[in-house]
Amino acid sequence: MQEDGQELTSPETERICLLTTPVECEGDAVRTAIVLDDRHQGWLGVPHGGVLMSLVLELAHDGMNRDMFPLPTFPFRASFRWGGPTILLGDSLEITARREGEEIRAAIRKDSEATPSFSAAIRPIPPTDEANTGEPDPLAEAMEAIGRDTKENVYPLPVATNCFVCGTDREYPGLTRKFYCLDARGEQVVFTSIGLDGEDRNRIRRFRYDDIPVHPGVLAAILDETMGWGGFVKARNGGMTVKLDVDFLRPADRGEKMLCYGICSGTRGKSASRMFWFAEGGIFPMGEGDLPPIARARGQWLAMPNLTEEMKQHLRPAEWLNRWFAPEGP
C-alpha cells in the first residue's frame, strides 16, 4: 500500500520545466523564444496566466546565475501585469529579462511587437512591508475552522477539461486542482488544497525547479486561479487577470500540506462589460504548530461577458453550472 507522503515516481525523472528553449545571455540581460501550444493552455485557445508567470520566473532564475529561488532570496515580490496585444496558443513569443539594480524586469512580446503583452518586476520585499508578512491571517483561520464544522456550506466549483491548473482531461501534465467555495457566514471564500496526499504532492512537485521543492510559478498559477474564482463567485462574471502581485515569503517545504484561498475584496462598475473586481489570497501551511505563511497575493481582474458565455458552454460537470451562473449566490 502507498504510504502517505511517499513519492509515486522519482522527481528526478519526472521533473518538468515549462521553459524548454535555449537561453541567450548578454551582460545583465537574457532572452529566449517560445511557441505556445496545448501544454500551455488555460482557457480555450489562450495560455494560462500561471504559465506566463512560470516562464518569466524560470528565465530570470536561469539567466541570472540561478540566484532567484535559493533561501536567501526570500522574501521577494513578483508583480505581474497583462496588457498589449492578445496572446493566443500558436503564437511565437520573445521573453526577455534584465537586471536593474536589485530588480529584475521581464517582458513577453508577441511576434516582436513593440508593446509587451505581459510584464513582470521581481524585487526584494521592501523593509517597510516585511513587518506585515508574518502576521497570521484571521480570514484563513476562520475559513479553516468553519470548514471543519460546517461541511454543508462548502460547494464545489466546475472545472475545464484542458486548463493547465484545473484541467481534468489534459494530454499533457497539469496541476489538476479542484476548487471549492465556502459560504462563511455570508462571506464567500474560494479555496483549494495542495499536497494532502502523496499522489497530489508528486503531481505538484514534478514542476520542481532546481532544489526548490515547489516551483514558485506553480504556486502563483494556483493563486491566480483561486483568486479569479474568488472574484467570480461575487461578480458572477468570468474575467481575465489584469495584474497580480505575489509575495513569496518562504519556500514550501518538501511534502508540505498547503491551503490556498482567494476572496473578492471589492468590485468597480455595475455593467458586466465595464466591471473590474479585486481579490486577495494566500497560501498557508496545514501542519501542526504556528508555521509561517508561504505566499500572499492581491490582484485585479477585468470582467468579460463573452468569457462568461464560454464558461457556461464548456465548464463541467453541467449539473453544477446553474448554481454558479444563477444571479444569486449558492
pTM, two decimal places: 0.90
**Has residue 82 got a pLDDT over 70?**
yes
- The answer to whether residues 28 and 102 touch, using CB atoms and an 8 Å cutoff, is no
Q: What is the pLDDT of residue 10?
A: 43
Radius of gyration of the chain (CA): 19
Q: What is the mean pLDDT of the chain?
A: 85
Cα–Cα distance measured from residue 21 to residue 105, given in angstroms and rounded to the nearest whole number: 20
Please report where in the chains the cell 467555495 appears, as a residue.
181
**Confidence band, pLDDT 50/70/90 cuts, at residue 289:** low
Q: What is the pLDDT of residue 80?
A: 98
- The answer to whether residues 159 and 119 touch, using CB atoms and an 8 Å cutoff, is no
Give per-residue pLDDT as tens, 168-212. 889 999 999 999 998 877 788 999 999 998 888 888 888 877 777
- The answer to whether residues 211 and 204 touch, using CB atoms and an 8 Å cutoff, is no
- The answer to whether residues 216 and 224 touch, using CB atoms and an 8 Å cutoff, is no
Cα–Cα distance measured from residue 12 to residue 14, given in angstroms and rounded to the nearest whole number: 6
- The answer to whether residues 222 and 163 touch, using CB atoms and an 8 Å cutoff, is no
Please report where in the chains the cell 529566449 appears, as a residue.
32
Cα–Cα distance measured from residue 134 to residue 142, given in angstroms and rounded to the nearest whole number: 17
**Has residue 1 got a pLDDT over 70?**
no
Give per-residue pLDDT as tens, 221-246. 999 999 999 999 988 888 999 999 99
**Confidence band, pLDDT 50/70/90 cuts, at residue 11:** very low
**Confidence band, pLDDT 50/70/90 cuts, at residue 7:** very low
H-helix or E-strand spanning residue 205: helix 198-205
Residue 4: what are its φ and ψ, rounded to 5°?
Answer: -60, 130
Q: Outline where DSSP puts E strands in the chain.
A: 24-26, 29-35, 76-82, 92-100, 103-110, 118-124, 154-156, 180-184, 187-194, 239-248, 258-268, 276-285, 295-303
Give per-residue pLDDT as tens, 104-160. 999 999 987 999 999 999 999 977 665 555 555 555 555 555 555 556 788 899 999
Q: Could you please report the per-residue DSSP string of 126-137?
A: PHHHHHHHTS--
Segments making up each domain of the chain, as ranges: 16-126+137-325
H-helix or E-strand spanning residue 23: none
Count of all residues that appear for the chain in the document: 330
Which residues does 159 contact at the CB level (< 8 Å), separation at least 6?
166, 167, 168, 178, 179, 315, 316
CATH of domain 16-126+137-325: 3.10.129.110
